[in-house]
Chain A
Amino acid sequence: DGGITQSPKYLFRKEGQNVTLSCEQNLNHDAMYWYRQDPGQGLRLIYYSQIVNDFQKGDIAEGYSVSREKKESFPLTVTSAQKNPTAFYLCASSWGAGYGYTFGSGTRLTVV
């Protein structure tokens, strides 16, 4: 079955530690996106990529980094520079402009 897989489902980060969230899709979608969701709120765009080896900052990119070395994969690294990383992280993919998104099931990151 085609879909988008995020792992892990839950992740715990210590202060000062970098962590990487995985996002893999087998839908052959060109575009991929990372959003952050805080409790009771909407989604805010962190980074997005329209093609392999290219990505752009979203509204809240500070403290995050991404790579897009393969069409299927768009990992997100939450660095120690992100001061308030506890949130629900959602990855999505689409054919691009004018199309809806397919979302993964999310990763819940908690700082301990």
Chain B
Amino acid sequence: SQQGEEDPQALSIQEGENATMNCSYKTSINNLQWYRQNSGRGLVHLILIRSNEREKHSGRLRVTLDTSKKSSSLLITASRAADTASYFCATDATGSSNTGKLIFGQGTTLQVKP
């Protein structure tokens, strides 16, 4: 069962520009998380935002959460070539019986051109 849908599927920008990725989900959540995956590698946890939070920052990352619209966005400011990767949102649904299991979206592939 896929909970999150990311938009756009692919994004190509120049170094120094900002990149925005969106995630929509279907059911109520405890938290929403963003991960990065470099090609052929495991995922790396970027940021977790809880259902009672609206915005969170970590370095050049800014995440927003709108539970009324069941959507989240990830903004990467001043992008670098090293930011080139796939980005996934993942939701911990409230119906998951406190298991901590996450449902991942399809991902957005970001290419940052030098």
Contacts and interface: CB of A to CB of B under 8 A. Distances in A.
Contacts, number: 70
A107 to B, nearest CB: 10
Given A33-B101, A48-B101, A56-B99, A101 B43 contact: yes
B100 A35 contact: no
Interface residues of B, number: 29
B100 A90 contact: no
A96 B41 contact: no
A16 interface: no
A59 B44 CA distance: 22
A94 B90 CA distance: 14
**Size category of the binding interface on chain A:** 20 to 34
The DSSP consensus for interface residues of chain A is strand
A41 B103 CA distance: 13
B42 interface: yes
B8 to A, nearest CB: 14
Interface of B: 1-2, 4, 30-31, 33, 35, 40-45, 48, 50, 88, 90, 92, 96, 98-107
